[in-house]
Amino acid sequence: MHSAAAAAAAAAASTAPDELVTAASPLQRMASITNSLMNNAALPPLQPHPPRPMKAVLPPITQQQFDQFSNLNTEEVVRRIKEHLSQYSISQRLFGESVLGLSQGSVSDLLARPKPWHMLTQKGREPFIRMKMFLDDENAVHKLVASQYKIAPEKLMRTGCYNGGKRPGFPKMPLKLPDMPKSLESPLPPAVSLAAGGFPGLPPAALASRLPGMDPLMKFGLRMPTAGQLPMSVYETAAITPELDTQYITTKIKEVLLANNIGQKLFGETVLGLSQGSVSELLSKPKPWHLLSIKGREPFIRMKMWLEDTPRNLDKLQRIKSDRKESSKRRRSQMETASESNDSSDVYSTMSNSPNAKKSRVLFSDEQKEALKLAFAMDPYPNMTSVEFLCQELNLTHRTITNWFHNHRMRLKQQTGAAGEPAPYLAAGARDGQQLDPLQFRLLLNRRLQELHREKAVAAGGGGPLPGPLPFAGLTGPLPFPFLDGRLSGEPMSGLDLSMKSDNDFDNQSDDASNMSGGSSPPPAGSPEGDDDDDEGGERRQAAPAGRSSRRKPAAPQWVNPQWAAEPRRTPQPQQLINGVCVMQTELEGGEAGAEPAQPLVRVEPESAPEPEPELKREPDEAEREEDGPEPEQEPEPEPEPVKGEPTDAEPDSSEAE
């Protein structure tokens, strides 16, 4: 493993003297980080006393230092600090506590709204001076990064080994992908170090030499060594990876997995350190690179790296797969005979008597889902009052309601490719962010449920039987909606006969029975479809007041470069030049047309020393991929899913009814 790492270190040493820290390119910083990490690792293992006591003990800013910085451009300092933090995935908390002696909240505020120097008191200037010193000290970042791992080993564990939340050890062979620099952590890092090393011509030979098997160190099954140093790799790589075509990567991965009969579970656990479900989502709905946070990019980087040496990696997987199969088989047969052998797993079972009951997941009824979607449409960010109301109406806990809203917002955004604002899920005109009006809510919900039932009826009677005598057990009875009493607006819906729909449109509005937006529009920035429906004009009348106040705070996106959100898309160049390293990204799009496109290759440039900031450089945002395929809807409006005449309901109902 020295090969790569050593090379990197050497390279760093030779070409990255020290001097202009500020001007150091990411590559150089990378190299030096590697370097420092290596050194650290070589030294005595983590001591209980990290060289950094910090915490509240940071008051030493000497008068001299104050004098030294008689005038700082706070904005500039903050900008650079933010760059550093995001680049190396350093949390505000860590930075605040170890560098500034401030809490996360303070750091957030400081970074978000730095006051101009002249408006700061002596005390107020301290943090900025510390930041400035931090920026001026090249090693500071490195130390921080290194300490981050030492301080939070579980972080490494997390990516390092897949160990479900609970029981650590488990019979199901725990595979862990140590995330230390396995010699061939391949493509990315090496390329970088080479470039930095100033071996422009360093040919493929070097690269090739690494590939040849060997990565003896990274064997699965070893438990996190206490000295799990060299935490770099994926994180650092993530920090400097300019851009990856997530769509392409996932497509390729799916192809390979399918062709080789590898399941998501196996792949996820051994290669990505993720569960099957997560892998599924990742592969079927990859988010575009620019919308991913550093953390979120990790799996893609791992996949990319995995693809670099597909054959060998596949081999490894196959091996693991067969191993598993064998062991499970063995275990089974063994169990049959010797009932109680238990060797390892027993410890847990005995020591935990109650934890047995695995909590079952809450399942919402269709009605509840409808209600939630409606409420969401009326107000994606319900306040406490609204949530309380929903709790009552749906007989769900506050926690559950808020969770649902959180999840729904995120998932909706993800699927609409939403670039920015979470607001306009609804046709703007109508009911909007206002407080959720109970009456209106009930009215609309009632209407919605009726439609649903009608649809269901149709579906059920699809064959020949008429929907007439449908067992619409739904409303009134079993439904958890005690309200629905027709009143308000004189809706005659008490009887809920399926036919009433025809005349009940006193307000007009076409009931969208099934409208879905056929063409999705490019999501960027704007509100996606606007098909929404009904009630537009009608509802309005009721709560038409002019006061449109409370607009919730959507909270800023947390991806690496939020500025991109509003960025105009740039032309995608087939090849990018990053710090001298030319990365051919190959096309994208197209997807998997039989012969896969050329493999992305990396070649080293003669080093042109460009700027360190790729800045806005994004590909064409292939977001246009025709979605709609599998399941287009999800909007509160279009209701496609309920199509299966499922006799569910099974309303527990119990005792609500107030």
Partner DNA sequence: TTCTAGTCAATAAT
Partner DNA sequence: ATTATTGACTAGAA
Work out which of 143, 409, 431, 448 binds DNA, going by CB under 7 A. Answer: 409
Q: What angle do CA 492, 493, 495 make, to 5 degrees?
A: 105
Radius of gyration of the chain (CA): 29
> At residue 67, what are phi and psi to the nearest 5 degrees?
-65, -35
d(CA 377, CA 405) in angstroms, rounded, equals 11
407 sits near DNA (criterion: CB under 7 A):
yes
Q: Which of 73, 278, 489, 586 binds DNA (CB under 7 A)?
A: 278
Tell me the closest approach of the beta carbon of residue 506 to DNA, in angstroms: 33
User: Residue 447: which H helix or E strand, with range?
Assistant: helix 438-460
**Residue that the structure tokens 């809510």 belong to:** 441
Of 315, 346, 615, 646, which lies in the binding site for DNA, with binding defined by CB under 7 A?
A: 646
Task: Collect all residues with Cβ–Cβ distance below 8 Å to 576 and sequence separation of at least 6.
Answer: 242, 243, 582, 583, 585, 614, 617
Site string for DNA, 155-194 (x = CB under 7 A): x------x-xxx----------------------------
Q: How far is the CB of 556 from DNA (least distance, A)?
A: 5
* Rounded CA separation 630/628 (Å): 6
552 binds DNA (CB under 7 A): yes
Length of the chain: 658
Report the site for DNA in 41-70 (rule: CB under 7 A).
none
Here's the x/- map for DNA, 67-86, by CB under 7 A: it reads as: ------------------x-
By CB under 7 A, name the one of 45, 51, 105, 213 that touches DNA: 105
Question: Taking a C-beta distance cutoff of 8 angstroms, is the pair 98, 134 a contact?
Answer: no
| Residue 111 interacting with DNA (CB under 7 A) | yes
Query: Which is closer to DNA, CB of 244 or CB of 257?
Result: 257
Does 298 engage in binding with DNA (CB under 7 A)?
Answer: yes
Is the CB of residue 581 less than 8 Å from the CB of residue 26? no
Spatial CA neighbour of 299 closest among 311, 314, 283? 283
Q: Is 264 in the site for DNA (CB under 7 A)?
A: yes
Inter-helix orientation angle 384-394/366-378, to 10°: 160
> Is residue 460 a contact point for DNA (CB under 7 A)?
no
Distance CA 485, CA 504 (A): 15
Query: By CB under 7 A, is residue 650 in contact with DNA?
Result: no
The CB-of-216 to DNA minimum distance in angstroms stands at: 26
**For residues 637, 641, 644 and 650, what is the CA-based torsion angle, rounded to 10 degrees?**
-80
Does 276 engage in binding with DNA (CB under 7 A)? yes
| N-terminal to C-terminal alpha carbon distance within the chain | 68
Cβ atoms 499, 392 nearer than 8 A:
no
557 near DNA, judged by CB under 7 A: yes
Q: Does 263 bind DNA (CB under 7 A)?
A: yes
Binding mask 375-394 for DNA (x = CB under 7 A): ------x--x----------
Site for DNA in 356-375 (CB under 7 A): 358-364, 369
How distant is the alpha carbon of residue 226 from its chain centre? 29
**Residue matched to tokens 């990396």:** 602
What is the per-residue binding string for DNA in 569-608, x denoting contact by CB under 7 A? Answer: ----------------------------------------
Determine the interface stretch with DNA among 7-15, 231-239, 402-410, 614-622 (rule: CB under 7 A). Answer: 402-410
Residue 283 or 378 having the CB closest to DNA: 283
The binder of DNA chosen from 229, 395, 400, 515 (CB under 7 A): 400
